[in-house]
Amino acid sequence: MSSTSTSRHHQVTAERRVRHQAQDVVAVMAFSGLLSVACAVALLLLTQLGH
């Protein structure tokens, strides 16, 4: 195996790892946003029921 093919392999692997990490970050952000909205709606419903 030549050094150029080895470095390309590491570069492709690094790009896939970065892409996977970016997908994980987007998933966490989406989950966090949905959870925040759900909590806000739940609090809104609780306050409306209290009146």
Question: Residue 51: what pLDDT?
Answer: 78
Question: Residue 10: what pLDDT?
Answer: 76
Instruction: Give the CA distances from residue 14 to residues 32, 35, 36, 37, in Å, rounded to whole numbers and listed in that order.
Output: 27, 31, 33, 35
Residue 22 sits at the vertex; the CA angle it makes with 17 and 24, to the nearest 5 degrees, is: 95
Q: What tens-digit pLDDT sequence spans the chain (51 residues)?
A: 556 666 777 777 888 898 999 999 999 999 999 999 999 999 999 999 987
The first and second tokens of residue 33, run together, are 């946003």
pTM for this structure?
A: 0.66
Question: Residue 3: what pLDDT?
Answer: 60
Question: Residue 32: what pLDDT?
Answer: 98
Question: Residue 2: what pLDDT?
Answer: 58
